[in-house]
Amino acid sequence: MVKTESKNAIVVKNLHKSYKQLAVLKGISFSVERGSILALLGPNGAGKTTTIKILSTLLQADKGSATIEGYDVVKDSNEVRARIGLTGQYAAVDEYLTGQENLVMIGRLYHLDKKEVNRRATELIKQFDLVKASTRPVKTYSGGMKRRLDLAMSLIAAPPIIFLDEPTTGLDPRSRLVMWEIIKKLAAQGTTILLTTQYMDEADHLADNIIVIDGGKVIAEGDANSLKAKVGADHLDLTISKKSNFDDARRALKSEKIKVDAEQRIISIATKGGVKKLKQLLGKLEDAKIQVESVSLRRPTLDDVFLTLTGHGTTKTTDENDKEAK
């Protein structure tokens, strides 16, 4: 039974959390509408997993509050646990049991009766395309199969809310797409989903709403299109010829706010100046005797949004400004 008639299944207000002297959350606030997918987007260390742990009652905040379907995560922890499923960054499965046995074990821990456990296990095995593998030990499963089984286990009691902490970490591209389709189907069936990710394309593809966090704070919120609109500018991607020194090219454009991909030899610049700005940038590179192999113009991505908002990429290793700070 839902305690509140609010349209929001999850409400977070001013969460703070520190580990000794390290402040991980510095006043996080957001809400998640019932039946929607919200992505917490940010780099490693931004506070995404800490937020999930607090909401799933595994960790207590130092300050602030959070409710799940109107139940306080601290005062009503048992009620909260009965309404959520959790899938962590790494598959929490028993590799010596079969897929079927893993599901039955979790069902019994939820105190479901034997008939209901078997029904749900069979249903989930079919839903997650694990029928052929269901009688094999999980240690024989691929990484993608283990992640699917882990998600299935979190759904054994049919919770209305699912927390997915970086659900596609370590998966190959095909397995990621499979997980995306499963997540979208769950939402279409009315499940409220809160997922954390550092993958821009994942948030873009899945989320109805996105919360961008960095340094323990919410720095932006909106759907993918509205966030991209905040950047506004087109982006120029300049590929530097291998005949030229990439560091010299980077230095020649140091007055611009740039993002670099040294491996691909690409320098990206946000601009509203069109052809005039392109001529200016190419002029700087020509003066520095840098050869440009190719030029492309593209619309902003979520990665560009994050760079614009924070001054660094989601890994904090690809942005020029961050490199200089180090």
- Which pLDDT tens digit goes with each residue over 303-320? 778 777 776 655 543 333
Q: 113 and 241 share a domain?
A: no
Q: 77 and 210 share a domain?
A: yes
Is 303 inside a domain boundary? yes
Q: 126 and 138 share a domain?
A: yes
Can you give the pLDDT at residue 1? 46
Q: 284 and 237 share a domain?
A: yes
Per-residue b or e along 249-261, where b marks 16 or more CB atoms closer than 10 Å to that residue's CB: bbebbeebebbbe
Q: Is this prediction's pTM over 0.75? A: no
Is 3 inside a domain boundary? no
Give the pLDDT mean for 90-99.
84
Q: 160 and 258 share a domain?
A: no
**Sign of the C-alpha dihedral, residues 69, 71, 74, 79?**
negative
pLDDT top residue among 8 and 42? 8
Is 1 inside a domain boundary? no
Q: With contact defined as beta carbons under 8 Å apart, do 38 and 207 qualify?
A: yes
Give the pLDDT mean for 233-250.
89
Element at 68 (helix H, strand E) = strand 63-68
Banded pLDDT at 5 (limits 50, 70, 90)? low
| Lowest model confidence (mean pLDDT) among 108-122, 161-175, 299-313 | 299-313
pLDDT tens for each residue of 184-195: 988 999 999 999
Write the single-letter amino acid at 105.
M
Can you give the pLDDT at residue 3? 56
Give the pLDDT mean for 112-121.
90
Give the pLDDT mean for 127-146.
91
Q: 115 and 258 share a domain?
A: no
* Cα–Cα distance measured from residue 27 to residue 13, given in angstroms and rounded to the nearest whole number: 8
Beta bridge partners of 22: 19
Domain enclosing residue 270, as ranges? 231-325
Is 215 inside a domain boundary? yes
Domain end marker among 185, 207, 228: 228
pLDDT at 51 over 70: yes
Is 310 inside a domain boundary? yes
Q: 210 and 252 share a domain?
A: no
Q: Which residue in 46, 54, 43, 47 sits closest to 11, CA to CA?
A: 54
Name residues whose C-beta falls within 8 Å of residue 181's C-beta, 6 or more positions apart in sequence.
none
Is 148 inside a domain boundary? yes
Domain end marker among 195, 228, 261: 228
Can you give the pLDDT at residue 138? 92
Domain end marker among 199, 228, 257: 228
Q: What percent of the chain has pLDDT over 90?
A: 50
Can you give the pLDDT at residue 323? 35
Q: Which residue in 12, 17, 10 sits closest to 63, CA to CA?
A: 17
CATH number at residue 222: 3.40.50.300
Q: 240 and 107 share a domain?
A: no
Q: 78 and 218 share a domain?
A: yes
Q: With contact defined as beta carbons under 8 Å apart, do 256 and 269 qualify?
A: yes
- DSSP state, 137? B
pLDDT at 66 over 90: yes
Q: Domain tally for the chain?
A: 2
Q: 111 and 190 share a domain?
A: yes
pLDDT at 24 over 90: yes
Q: 172 and 93 share a domain?
A: yes
CATH number at residue 275: 3.30.70.100
